[in-house]
Structure 1
Amino acid sequence: MDMRKPCFFVGIGGSGMMPLAMILHARGVPVAGSDRALDAGRVPAKFDALRDRGIDLYPQDGSGITSPDQVVIASAAVEDSVPDMVKAREVGAERMTRPELLSRLFNDAVLPIGVAGTSGKSTVTGMIARIFHSVGRDPTVMNGAVMKNFVADDAPFASALVGKGDAFVSEVDESDGSIALYNPKIAVLNNVSHDHKSMEELRALFGDFVRRADAAVINIGDAEAAAIAMTVDREQRLTFAVDREANLTARHLKPDPFGIAFDLYIAGDFRRRVTLAVPGAHNVANALAALGVALSTSIPPGRALDALEGFTGLKRRFERVGEAGGIAVIDDFGHNPDKIAATLDTCHAFPGRLLILFQPHGFGPLKVMRRDLVAMFAKKLAKGDELVLCDPVYQGGTVSRDVTSADIVADVAATGCNARHIPDRAAAAAHLVATAKPGDRILVMGARDDTLSLLAKDMLESIAARS
């Protein structure tokens, strides 16, 4: 691909597409795009932000694709039958997938830093961005979530940074196997668990990824990641763990409802007490991963830790929407067993019933994760908690509905937990609002649907109106 050619993003509002479009646009590449959500009038603020940057937006009807000189980049959710894709074939425009384009930019960087793992990728990427920016390294960052530290009036959806430094920091996705396209100088492996692929495939993909790097920062507190770490040369790997011996270790964790403190040990020696502004033991592990990258690039640990303590988190990662009538509403990206479990553990460290609205991110993932998802809910739901599943998010196209939300609820209820299926999302939200009492916490959970954040705000407003 000629990097000077105009690029047209089909699905430009997607969490993996929007930051990539912003990076190219900031580098002077002509960028335009379309999106189903734009046509449906969903999340208009996001598309206004793209227009404000000078990015042209079109209906997803083929009208934006007019020349063979354009490069058409499509998200994974876009079928070949979509009019934009039909038009691209008709005019002879070059086509690329999102990971093909991102990996090319990544591999061309002087210092490509890839963040991998089933969970925590976006948070670790955001933490690394915070560190590098704070010490003047001016990184380019590709994140799948909005980084609160970088949100401003002219950057309300700050999921990308475009810097002049040598570092290109990006989360790297294993779900479609595209992790094999990336050649990192520094690789992070946070954890490995069943999500989109079999464990055998994941072990191979993640193992090959970290072994290609000059330096691998690996969480040996995770059993699968620890096994992969043993296949990496000792000189090449830097290990981290919570409450376990490693190059970087966190001990004596003290959680707060929206933060956590811990003692940091480097090579077995106590260095300092660290206080994060994001909660949960999983975020302690995320911080150790980011610190490992900083040390691998000769950033002094003290300066890296100062930056981490100022990390304010990501949108939709245990984001406190607000409180009304003694009821807190939290918006969270949790959508696979590990992510949801981490959020539930963080909440259960403090008293109060949990009312959970979970919108699965597709029928395919439900089929793959069914057993693990049910086992996790059976283990992690406390007495008195209520789990409500609405139907999975559906963005169009042909999908197999072998396993539904009703199937998951039936399995979870059979374990004795309080779970119910309310197909319509608005009805599910209304049920939880009506059920909530002072001291409760409502969790809105799910991925691949930005309107969940709007739903969480609406639920809070409904609670406030009745208080």
Structure 2
Amino acid sequence: MQQRYFFVGVGGSGMMPLAMILAGRGASIAGSDRTLDQGRLAPKFDALRALGIDLFPQDGSGITSPQQVVVASAAVEETVPDMVAAARVGAPRMRRADLLASLFNDSRVRIGVAGTSGKSTVTGMIGWILHALGRDPTVMNGAVMKNFASPDRPFASALVGQGEAFVSEVDESDGSIALYSPDIAVLNNVSLDHKSLDELRALFGDFAAKASRVVVNAGDPEAAALAATIGSDRRTTFAIEGEADLVARDLSPEPFAIAFTLESGSKRLPVRLSVPGRHNVANALAAIGAVVAAGVPVEDAASAIDGFVGLKRRFELVGEVGGVTVIDDFGHNPDKIAATLDTLMAFPGALKLLFQPHGYGPLKVMRRELVESLAARLRPGDELVLPDPVYHGGTTSREVTSGDIIADLTAQGAPARHIPDRAAAAAHLVATAAPGDRVVVMGARDDTLSQLAADMLAALATRNPE
């Protein structure tokens, strides 16, 4: 009998690609989402319907049978009507992470991508290389992979292939990384986001211990320390301008691309990425290391990665009008934000930044590191505006707020201000942006940020008709 699943929160960045993979493998998929009930992001739900996924209000009406497996993230409260309905009809329940891990662990070639930053990009790069070389992988990503997106498939955060490889990013923030048993484990970096460094060291160390090959960033201090505990017969190291198995040298940055020379043993191979920044060079080295571990010749990997065109919301150029460039970016923790700002600062133009924090808890965890990173980079003429954190409901501790971060920054002389309402924050930047400025919308866990960036570009066009 065809397996039936009901996804509570089917439009979420972790839920949607999993639903797409199961639908592509012939399962019967239905789901609900409060964003759908609120009438927002209609194109996303149209895309799900086009895949044959039935959508219901999040009122319990879609859960009617004990034959349905109800899938929800750990964040879904038991009081949500769908969860009440599941209990009433006796439908079995699974966490999203458990279902994904079971699909991953049942695959022939399991490539798991871990690390605080860069997971989605590395996953997309690996998926693209394997796809381009005819390996037909299945890819589970938390972001839309532009290589696989098309007008009739705009939300391509998953790829359903018939090959042996299953490539997935794995999440440390909820501890679910412990569920995965990779053949090839990629560890990009280790830094603060949701958990303490001690917790992260344990989670990443256990993940690496399960793999037959670990691809690890020797240029990241925490990852390098973990690499030192892994036998040389099980590890592939990579670094930028350092000592490792895979080394990038002679970096040549462009505003929206970067080239480098890849050293692998005695080989020196030219590589050009269609995504910018030193951090993406590290991501490319991680991806190349992973596919080489899966049997791809390094020359083929270095050639194929040229065709990777990036992910939605990863330093994505929204447009340019009146001399002002608008960029949409996923930066939301100290490392990600630093990587984006460093990439931007390699070229002229003031920065006008709108950063929406992705919750009060993360602000508390990363307060000191976030302030230090921003204060070290913001220059006279730049401006950072923080609205209040995105809030999805439920109870939360508000010990550290956007106002606290701004107070810390202004005490260090950084050009930053707190404008609690997001629309007002965006309007302020639109009103003050000058020709040559780069306006950057940053943040995570809020699908409406991309629309905000597009709206800001439109508002600039109205202000500056061409």
With the length of structure 1 as denominator, give the TM-score of the two structures. 0.98
Aligned to 2:421: 424
Which ranges of structure 1 fall in alignment gaps of 5 or more residues?
Answer: none
Aligned to 1:316: 313
Cα drift, residue 77 of structure 1:
3.1
Cα drift, residue 75 of structure 1:
2.1
Summarize the alignment of residues 331-346 of structure 1 with structure 2, pairs less than 5 Å apart.
331-346=328-343
Cα drift, residue 465 of structure 1:
1.1
Task: Single out whichever of 223-232 and 83-92 deviates more from structure 2.
Answer: 83-92
Moved over 2 A (4+): none
Cα drift, residue 270 of structure 1:
4.4
Give the AA of the match of 1:242: I
* Counterparts of 1:342 and 1:204, CA distance in 2: 25
* Counterparts of 1:225 and 1:389, CA distance in 2: 31
Cα drift, residue 4 of structure 1:
4.4
Cα drift, residue 363 of structure 1:
1.1
* Counterparts of 2:272 and 2:379, CA distance in 1: 28
Summarize the alignment of residues 51-450 of structure 1 with structure 2, pairs less than 5 Å apart.
51-267=49-265, 269-450=266-447
1:461 and 2:455 aligned: no
1:114 touches 1:169 (CA, 8 Å); kept in 2? Answer: yes
* Counterparts of 1:35 and 1:415, CA distance in 2: 42
Q: What does the per-residue CA deviation read over 1:24-80, in whole Å, with 9 as the maximum and x for residues that have no partner?
A: 011111101111111111211100100111101111111111111111111233211
Q: What does the per-residue CA deviation read over 1:125-151, in whole Å, with 9 as the maximum and x for residues that have no partner?
A: 000011000110000000000000001
1:263 touches 1:270 (CA, 8 Å); kept in 2? Answer: no
* Counterparts of 2:267 and 2:435, CA distance in 1: 41
Q: Helix, strand or coil for the counterpart of 2:423?
A: helix
Q: What does the per-residue CA deviation read over 1:159-213, in whole Å, with 9 as the maximum and x for residues that have no partner?
A: 0011110000000000011100000000000000011111111001101111110
* Counterparts of 1:85 and 1:401, CA distance in 2: 27
1:5 and 2:3 aligned: yes
RMSD over aligned Cα, in angstroms?
Answer: 1.0
Give the AA of the match of 2:12: G
* Counterparts of 1:335 and 1:76, CA distance in 2: 21
Cα drift, residue 302 of structure 1:
2.0
2:123 touches 2:287 (CA, 8 Å); kept in 1? Answer: yes
With the length of structure 2 as denominator, give the TM-score of the two structures. 0.98
* Counterparts of 2:38 and 2:46, CA distance in 1: 14
2:269 touches 2:302 (CA, 8 Å); kept in 1? Answer: no
* Counterparts of 1:109 and 1:206, CA distance in 2: 21
Task: Single out whichever of 151-160 and 172-181 deviates more from structure 2.
Answer: 151-160
Give the AA of the match of 2:251: L
Of all paired residues, the percent bearing the same amino acid is 69
Task: Single out whichever of 365-374 and 181-190 deviates more from structure 2.
Answer: 365-374
* Counterparts of 1:304 and 1:452, CA distance in 2: 33
Task: Single out whichever of 217-226 and 302-311 deviates more from structure 2.
Answer: 302-311
